[in-house]
């Protein structure tokens, strides 16, 4: 049993260096490499605390099942269920029941894949004819191929000069091939900076997008590439990014502080931190933990 990443995210950053610096009020680029590490660390802490990978990736999950009509995948939200197989047979009656929670549905149920004691060969009862199932011996007979997770600010294209539009197929086109590789039909993008109002605003992606072409369901007006074009792709919930920024702020504030110090006094000024400054083993600041708590995926 296992979960394999078949198409990894192009970045592990759940927010941008620019956003982190703006949060703290820093404008110079002198320490951008340091802020890159801050954002990497904060993103990893959020993933670990929430027991999930927020960044969108494609997966192959090979697991056993337990006989119910519902199955919960390891990663969510599920934005595309590519295929489901049982003992190498393709199942066509599996649907996404709750994308946000990663729950799949099959009317006939996902057959319990536990090993069984030998059948006695008598009668027509479930256990008599098939043998008594042995709990905790589930065989990995199901294979789910799917895409899950969010696009983030790192996918956004801001003030670019390589993006054009075409009325022929109602598409946005980028000669630099900068569109997200895991953008999918049904995603919503937000465009600005175009001369024609029809090209600005929110658009629903249709067809099969590529890194160079994104077809949308609205009618566009043809425009050649020009400076100042912006297309936003991020789908990451705002409170998740807010939590990550709170982690970055905490890391930045504590970069020269002894982690064992909980009280400091200089003359009449006294500063005391909470004696429980973090949340759990990974030490999230309380504000970040509160923001991220609704997004924790419990063990499946």
Residue 62 pLDDT level (bands cut at 50, 70, 90):
very high
Average pLDDT of every residue of the chain: 89
217-261 tens-digit pLDDT: 999 999 999 999 999 999 999 999 999 999 999 999 887 665 555
Average pLDDT over residues 196-216: 97
- pLDDT value at 300 more than 80: no
C-alpha distances in Å from residue 79, one per residue of 31, 53, 149, 249: 36, 14, 7, 31
* Lowest-pLDDT choice from 183-192, 206-215, 271-280: 271-280
> What does R_g of the chain's alpha carbons equal in angstroms?
25
Q: Same domain for 169 and 111?
A: no
Last residue of a domain, one of 232, 248, 265: 232
Q: Residue 202: inside a domain, yes or no?
A: yes
Question: From CA 56, how far away is CA 76, in angstroms rounded?
Answer: 9
Q: Same domain for 192 and 218?
A: yes
pLDDT at 133: 76
pLDDT at 210: 97
Q: Same domain for 162 and 85?
A: no
Question: From CA 172, how far away is CA 170, in angstroms rounded?
Answer: 7
pLDDT at 299: 61
Q: Same domain for 226 and 143?
A: no
Residue 121 pLDDT level (bands cut at 50, 70, 90):
low
Residue 298 pLDDT level (bands cut at 50, 70, 90):
confident
State the DSSP string of 258-278.
-TT--EEEETTEEEE--SS-S
Last residue of a domain, one of 148, 170, 196: 148
Q: Same domain for 138 and 175?
A: no
Residue 126 pLDDT level (bands cut at 50, 70, 90):
low
Q: Residue 208: inside a domain, yes or no?
A: yes
Q: Same domain for 215 and 140?
A: no
**Residue 202 belongs to a domain with what CATH number?**
2.40.30.20
Question: From CA 45, how far away is CA 8, in angstroms rounded?
Answer: 19
DSSP state of 21: H
* Percent over 90 (pLDDT), the chain: 76
Question: From CA 81, how far away is CA 112, in angstroms rounded?
Answer: 21
Q: Is 281 left (phi over 0), alpha (psi -120 to 50) or beta?
A: alpha
Confidence (pTM): 0.86
Question: From CA 294, how far away is CA 50, in angstroms rounded?
Answer: 9
* Lowest-pLDDT choice from 107-121, 241-255, 258-272: 258-272
- pLDDT value at 131 more than 50: yes
For the chain, what is the domain count? 2
Last residue of a domain, one of 217, 232, 247: 232
Q: Residue 192: inside a domain, yes or no?
A: yes
Q: Same domain for 127 and 164?
A: no
Q: Residue 15: inside a domain, yes or no?
A: no
Question: From CA 133, how far away is CA 116, in angstroms rounded?
Answer: 4
Q: Same domain for 175 and 141?
A: no
pLDDT at 247: 96
Q: Residue 46: inside a domain, yes or no?
A: no
Structural domain for 87, as ranges = 57-148
* Phi, psi for 106 (deg, rounded to 5): -140, 120
Q: Residue 258: inside a domain, yes or no?
A: no
pLDDT at 281: 47
């Amino acid at each position: 049993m296992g979960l394999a990443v078949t198409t990894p995210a192009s970045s592990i950053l759940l927010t941008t260096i620019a956003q982190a610096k703006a949060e703290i009020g820093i404008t110079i680029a002198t320490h951008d490499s340091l802020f890159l590490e801050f954002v990497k660390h904060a993103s990893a802490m959020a993933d670990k605390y929430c027991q999930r990978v927020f960044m969108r990736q494609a997966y192959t999950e090979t697991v056993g099942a337990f006989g119910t009509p519902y199955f919960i995948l390891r990663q969510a939200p599920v934005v595309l269920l590519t295929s489901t197989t049982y003992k190498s047979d393709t199942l066509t009656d599996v649907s996404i029941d709750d994308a946000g929670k990663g729950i799949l549905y099959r009317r006939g149920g996902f057959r319990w894949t536990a090993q069984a004691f030998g059948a006695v060969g008598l009668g027509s009862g479930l256990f008599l004819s098939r043998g008594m199932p042995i709990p905790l011996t589930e065989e990995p007979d199901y294979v789910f191929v799917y895409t899950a997770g969010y696009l983030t600010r790192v996918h956004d294209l801001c003030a670019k000069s390589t993006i054009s539009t075409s009325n022929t197929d109602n598409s946005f086109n980028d000669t630099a091939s900068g569109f997200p590789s895991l953008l999918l039909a049904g995603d919503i993008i937000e465009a600005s900076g175009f001369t024609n109002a029809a090209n600005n605003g929110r658009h629903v992606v249709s067809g099969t997008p590529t890194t160079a072409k994104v077809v949308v369901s609205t009618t566009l007006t043809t425009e050649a590439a020009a400076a100042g074009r912006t297309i936003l792709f991020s789908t990451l919930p705002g409170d998740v990014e807010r939590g990550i920024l709170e982690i970055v702020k905490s890391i930045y504030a504590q970069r020269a502080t002894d982690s064992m110090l909980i009280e400091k006094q200089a003359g009449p000024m006294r500063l005391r931190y909470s004696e429980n400054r973090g949340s759990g083993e990974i030490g999230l600041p309380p504000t970040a933990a509160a923001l991220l708590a609704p997004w924790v995926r419990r063990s499946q």
